[in-house]
């Protein structure tokens, strides 16, 4: 197209009071992580729930959730439309290695946005763990109530 023709089109658009703005589809993903408790002890089951929301203006595909403590999950959802959300829950039972400090873990959700771009978001959660045992005279850790109920 000649430069003169482009100027005529631009002038005609300006005279009609129209503004032409190119539209681009962009992916954006929001991740929220919650748990059914803020504290737990050895043997307790914690239910983590992950909420994903497509906050962009294009469809997201290839959804994957990774958690530093729970592992990698492929979601039972092939895509998220604009404004759509998805949630999933995972149960975890606290083990002896978990109860000597707060149980912290980080989750990351990844997806493919319009044009193949990768979008991701992180969320974390920490659970206070109750060390309900004691260290006996031999220096061994004992995960049970103290003798005498203390």
Q: For 81-122, write each residue's pLDDT tens digit.
A: 999 999 999 999 999 888 888 889 899 999 998 888 899 999
The answer to whether the beta carbons of residues 62 and 14 sit under 8 Å apart is no
Which range marks the domain in which residue 41 is found?
29-149
Tell me whether residue 39 is in a domain. Answer: yes
Q: Which residue carries 């539209």 as its tokens?
A: 23
Q: How far is CA 21 from CA 3, 8, 105, in A?
A: 20, 18, 43
Number of domains, the chain: 1
Residue 46 lies in a domain: yes
What mean pLDDT is reported for the chain?
78
Under a CB-based contact definition with an 8 Å cutoff, are residues 64 and 109 in contact? Answer: yes
Q: Write the CATH number for 108.
A: 2.60.40.10
- 3: in domain: no
- Give a yes or no: residue 16 inside a domain: no
CB atoms under 10 Å from CB of 128, counted, come to 12
- Evaluate whether residue 12 is within a structural domain: no
Higher confidence at residue 105 or residue 7?
Answer: 105
* 15: Cβ contacts below 8 Å, ≥ 6 apart: none
């Amino acid at each position: 197209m000649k430069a003169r023709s482009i100027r005529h089109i631009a002038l005609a658009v300006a005279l009609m009071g129209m503004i032409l703005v190119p539209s681009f589809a962009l992916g954006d993903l929001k991740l929220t992580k919650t748990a059914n408790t803020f504290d737990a002890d050895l043997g307790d089951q914690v239910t983590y729930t992950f909420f994903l929301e497509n906050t962009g203006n294009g469809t997201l595909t290839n959804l994957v959730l990774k958690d530093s403590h729970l592992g990698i999950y492929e979601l039972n959802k092939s895509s998220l439309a604009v404004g759509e959300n998805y949630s999933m829950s995972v149960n975890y039972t606290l083990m002896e290695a978990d109860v000597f400090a707060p149980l912290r873990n980080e989750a990351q959700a990844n997806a493919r946005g319009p044009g193949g771009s990768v979008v991701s978001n992180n969320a974390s959660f920490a659970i206070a763990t109750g060390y309900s045992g004691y260290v006996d005279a031999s220096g061994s850790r004992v995960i049970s109530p103290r003798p005498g109920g203390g």
